[in-house]
Amino acid sequence: MRRINASVVIWALLTVSASAQTVGQVVKIDEPAGTITIKETSGQSVAYRPKDGLLFNALKEGDNVSFTAAEENGQKVISKLEKR
């Protein structure tokens, strides 16, 4: 029987639970830097990296969006996004 390292299991659980559905408004699109800044309902503006580069063409500043984001390799990454 193989033993599973407890720290690996904890890391995997934290990674899965770190993803969250959020709503907000696009305030800045910086394609050269690879980021989209979204003002969340909490009032905080956060820069995200989209997994799909086509989002840069599909969005404009002022768009209201619903999105799923997670932290990957120390960066906040949008995995799914829909205009509202």
**What's the whole-model pTM score?**
0.75
If pLDDT is split at 50, 70 and 90, which confidence band does 20 have? confident
Its domain, for residue 36, covers 6-83
Q: How far apart are CA 46 and CA 14, in angstroms?
A: 20
Residue 67, Cβ density class (10 Å: 0-12 exposed, 13-18 middle, ≥19 buried): buried
Confirm whether 1 is domain-assigned.
no
> pLDDT class for 2, splitting at 50, 70, 90?
low
73: pLDDT strictly greater than 80: yes
> Does any domain span residue 77?
yes
How many domains in the chain? Answer: 1
Strands 64-72, 75-83: pairing kind: antiparallel
CATH number at residue 75: 2.40.50.140
DSSP run (H or E) holding 10: helix 6-17
* Residue 30 forms part of a structural domain: yes
Position 34 in a domain? yes
